[in-house]
Amino acid sequence: MTPHAFTLHVPDAEIAQLRARLAATRLPDQAPDAAWAYGTDVEYLRDLIVYWRDGFDWRAEEARLNAFPQVTLPLHGIDVHALHVPGRGPRPMPLLLLHGWPGSVFEFFDIIPRLTDPARFGGDPEDAFTVVAPSLPGYGLSFRPGQKRFGVVAMAEVMVALMEALGHPRFGVQGGDWGSAIATALGLHHPKHLTGLHLNFLSAVPRDPALYRDGTEDEREFAAELAHFLREETGYQQIQGTKPQTLAVALTDSPAGLASWFVEKFRSWTDSDGDPTRAVDRDRMLADISLYWFTGCIGASFWPYYDRLHGPPLVPPGRRVEVPLGYASFPREILHPPRSVADRLFADIRRWSLRSQGGHFAAMEQPAALAEEMRAFFRELRGRG
């Protein structure tokens, strides 16, 4: 199959409709007590909506996306969109770069040049990658209304087909959030295609605090962290994993609702000191939210949650991923499992790094640090360690 060049252009009428809907926003009152205590702060959201309506320039963000080479191609019954950016170096390594939820390819604008052209940033051209950054099936530009839904294992199969179609039958992979889960599925089910696996989130770790309460001190601390997370931070997973269609109606109809649902995560999961724009560029965050809005993909983007809640564990008991693993832990990540826990799931951990700044959206928050981690990990696998 032949990839087709792609350029995004959202019609002017759709941009005007978004602004009209934002102008007609009806917000709730602010609950008592501290701002953000019960979810998105209403005054913060009000200011964001005004900027989204009157100050945000979608065309500028669209142009930044279109500055990267993009393709679409039919795979597994849908049209898959991807950035396909050649590396500048003597031997660029193919690298599959995977986003998660509520993310998109807009996460990668700052990190892709650091990976494809390291010499531009003072690095070694021997470390260059040719980057393939797809919109995940059911997300953004890999979504059309009425298409079939994809869980993590099915997405991994699409990724293998994508890389083979683009001429990269063997490749490295990097992921956070659902990207981490898909990368792990690739390592478990398609190891012959991978040179290595780099993660900044460990999706495969079982989420039962009882498994760790009798372990090492690090494991007991992780059990407490996990128990708090399950009690206070997983409501969205239960809704998205049990009644995704109900929520999709609300967030497909209300851009303010969509922004509220997303911005709370950009605040909670980033190294932002309470203001997400300290960690993530405001225009980039709104570009991400706008892409979900314009494509209407929010319902399909929930599907991996439903699939995970109703399916088997990502790594079944007794199995381990054999592909070499590199892991970078950022301090404001959602969870921080210790290496002893990861050792139960990954048989060949080559690099385990604890970074001093950053959170869940590492490619947006700390692109230089994440790129540094990736170059160092894959350098050994290129035979240059």
**141, 156 Cβ separation under 8 angstroms:** no
Angle at 300 between CA 329 and CA 26, to 5 degrees: 90
**Strand-pair partners of 79:** 74
- Confirm whether 348 is a catalytic residue: no
Backbone angles phi, psi at 322, to 5 degrees: -95, -15
Other residues' Cβ atoms within 10 Å of the Cβ of residue 380:
14
Q: Read off the tokens for 230.
A: 């399950």
Cα 210-211-213 angle, rounded to 5 deg: 60
Contact 254, 52 (CB under 8 A): no
Terminal-residue alpha carbon distance, the chain:
36
Contact 78, 157 (CB under 8 A): no
Contacts of 305 (CB under 8 A, 6+ apart): 101, 237, 240, 241, 244
Q: Give the H or E element holding residue 326.
A: strand 325-329
- In the three-class reduction of DSSP (H, G, I as helix; E, B as strand; rest coil), residue 299 is classed as helix
Residue count (the chain): 385
In the chain, the largest separation of any two C-alpha atoms, in whole Å, equals 60
Contact of 116 with 122, CB cutoff 8 Å: no
Considering the candidates 127, 177, 271, 283, report the single residue annotated as catalytic.
Answer: 177
Closest among 369, 360, 374, 371 to 100, alpha carbons compared: 360
Q: Kindly state the tokens that stand for 78.
A: 């849908």
How many CB atoms neighbour CB 383 within 10 A? 6
Catalytic residue among 44, 139, 212, 305: 305
Residue reference for tokens 């040179």: 195
79 is known as an active-site residue: no
Q: Is 360 a catalytic residue?
A: yes
| Cα distance between residue 71 and residue 131, in whole Å | 13
The rounded distance, in Å, linking the Cα atoms of 132 and 105 is 10
Instruction: Give catalytic residues, as residue numbers.
Output: 177, 305, 360
